[in-house]
């Protein structure tokens, strides 16, 4: 009798565990949203753009050689007073249920970024489908909708191309950053740090970039490329930085993986190239007379990547002089980035977090005035220690004086 009861209870438990189809959704009923763009309309409402995958065309592009297939993505746009309202209104145009589990890119229009990101991410973070690991970029010079409508020739889904470009650019160039939504939310909620987000721009004709002919040419009419770093303060975009200044920001944030630094030599500009292979930045808070100061130390090693002047790389004294010149060059890049941030009174480096870790009681007193009073006058000491590990396969350049 007890055995029969036990078997019956086991069957009941198993039946309850197997009944998991109550919330099923057919794949043919879902619209897979790969990217979301957010702009502002003339009347102040949000314009949300949704990049939806056309599954048959993406699969067909692989089988038929890319350009012969149909358009791999479609853009649906709707307006609303909030992102949720705009998303719900998009259902009037979509024949499928919007599905955000595969959304891996969020593009914010520059106008929205300058007005402020307050409340923009609340709906995304609350949505149980959306993943905060989605990458975030700021549209620079064009709307977020224009960025999402450009068709790309190599990666059929343009959102994937932007994401891969972010990853490889940070890895190889060091003037951009691969930032996700969660990191920006964390920076927005931190009193000692402001967000830094990479910008994207359209090169060429955006109107022609929407057509399928854009992917059928070896020279597309429009391309999407990365364009500098956007510095934020109180959730608002306040400044764009590019080139060495942008790389200085990345140096301080300890996000340099590889980059190429060129220095002058023998009176010739950009004469010698240095490629970093390893880099580490340490930021420490110090206190002088009760006021905080910051020490930034950069350590890196790498190889000589290019020589365009006469120099004997087999001479240890010459290598030592090169290392000192690299030290000065990188220190100047970092100092320039710090001065640029101090001018707009935004601590994007996390110096406030360093002060908080070193002196929690002092930080509690000054955190409300940190960005506007203490950070602009902050004394920052920058030191670099660069080591040349290898000089390549040639010690003596073939160029003669």
Stretch 124-146: mean pLDDT: 92
Distances (CA, A) of 15 to 5, 9, 10, 395: 15, 10, 9, 75
Residue 345 or 11, more confident: 345
Q: What is the pLDDT of residue 323?
A: 97
Q: Which residues are paired to 203 by β-bridges?
A: 223
Specify the 3-state DSSP secondary structure of 186: helix
Q: What is the pLDDT of residue 177?
A: 95
Lowest mean pLDDT among 32-41, 113-122, 183-192, 348-357: 113-122
Stretch 269-294: mean pLDDT: 92
- Cα–Cα distance measured from residue 306 to residue 272, given in angstroms and rounded to the nearest whole number: 6
pLDDT tens per residue across span 189-219: 999 999 999 999 999 998 888 888 888 888 8
Q: Check if the beta carbon of residue 166 is closer than 8 Å to that of residue 224.
A: no
pLDDT tens per residue across span 150-164: 998 888 899 999 999
Lowest mean pLDDT among 40-54, 177-191, 205-219: 205-219
Residue 315 or 118, more confident: 315
* Band (387; pLDDT cuts 50, 70, 90): very high
**What's the chain's length in residues?**
401
Residue 186 or 289, more confident: 186
Residue 73 or 400, more confident: 73
Lowest mean pLDDT among 2-11, 69-78, 266-275: 2-11
Crossing angle of helices 243-252/316-343, nearest 10°? 90
Residue 374 or 54, more confident: 374
**Residue 69 scores a pLDDT above 80:** no
Q: Check if the beta carbon of residue 44 is closer than 8 Å to that of residue 140.
A: no
pTM confidence score:
0.89
**How crowded is residue 114: how many other Cβ atoms within 10 Å of its Cβ?**
15
pLDDT tens per residue across span 220-272: 889 999 999 999 999 999 999 999 999 999 999 999 999 999 999 988 898 99
* Band (68; pLDDT cuts 50, 70, 90): very low
Distances (CA, A) of 88 to 4, 130, 136, 193, 366: 52, 15, 22, 34, 43
Q: What is the pLDDT of residue 66?
A: 44
Q: What is the pLDDT of residue 51?
A: 95
Element (H, E) at 337: helix 316-343
**Residue 59 scores a pLDDT above 80:** no
Residue 165 or 57, more confident: 165
- Cα–Cα distance measured from residue 114 to residue 77, given in angstroms and rounded to the nearest whole number: 21
Q: Check if the beta carbon of residue 254 is closer than 8 Å to that of residue 297.
A: no
Stretch 179-189: mean pLDDT: 95
In order of start, what are the domains of the chain with their CATH numbers?
Answer: 27-241 (no CATH), 243-401 (3.30.300.210)
């Amino acid at each position: 009798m007890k055995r029969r009861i036990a078997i019956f209870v086991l069957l009941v438990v198993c039946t309850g565990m197997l009944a998991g189809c109550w919330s099923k959704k057919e794949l043919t009923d879902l619209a897979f949203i790969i990217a979301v763009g957010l702009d502002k309309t003339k009347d102040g409402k949000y314009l949300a753009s949704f990049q939806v995958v056309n599954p048959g065309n993406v699969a067909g592009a692989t089988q038929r050689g890319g350009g012969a297939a149909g358009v791999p993505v479609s853009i649906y746009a709707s307006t609303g007073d909030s992102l949720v309202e705009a998303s719900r209104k998009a259902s009037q145009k979509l024949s499928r249920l919007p599905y955000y589990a595969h959304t891996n890119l969020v593009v914010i229009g520059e106008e929205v970024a300058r007005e402020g990101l307050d409340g923009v991410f609340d709906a995304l973070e609350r949505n149980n489908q959306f993943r905060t690991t989605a990458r975030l970029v700021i549209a620079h010079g064009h709307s977020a909708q224009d960025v999402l409508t450009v068709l790309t020739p190599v990666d059929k889904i343009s959102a994937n191309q932007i994401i891969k470009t972010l990853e490889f650019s940070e890895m190889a160039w060091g003037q951009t950053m691969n930032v996700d939504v969660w990191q920006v939310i964390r920076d927005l909620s931190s009193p000692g740090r402001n967000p830094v987000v990479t910008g994207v721009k359209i090169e060429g004709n955006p109107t022609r970039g929407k057509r399928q002919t854009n992917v059928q040419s070896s020279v597309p009419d429009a391309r999407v490329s990365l364009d500098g770093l956007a510095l934020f303060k109180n959730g608002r975009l306040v400044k764009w930085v590019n080139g060495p200044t942008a790389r200085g920001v990345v140096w301080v944030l300890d996000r340099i993986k590889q980059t190429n630094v060129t220095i002058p030599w023998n009176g010739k500009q950009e004469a010698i190239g240095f490629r970093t292979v390893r880099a580490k930045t340490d930021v420490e808070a110090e206190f002088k007379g009760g006021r905080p100061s910051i020490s930034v130390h950069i350590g890196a090693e790498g190889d000589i990547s290019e020589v365009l002047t006469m120099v004997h790389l087999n001479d240890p004294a010459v290598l030592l002089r090169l290392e000192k010149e690299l030290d000065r060059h990188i220190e100047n890049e970092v100092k320039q980035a710090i001065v640029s941030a101090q001018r707009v009174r935004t601590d994007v480096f996390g110096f406030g977090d360093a002060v908080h870790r070193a002196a929690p009681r002092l930080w509690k007193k000054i955190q409300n005035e940190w960005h506007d009073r203490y950070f602009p006058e902050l004394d920052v000491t920058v030191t670099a220690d660069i080591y040349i590990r290898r000089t390549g396969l040639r010690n003596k350049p073939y160029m003669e004086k």
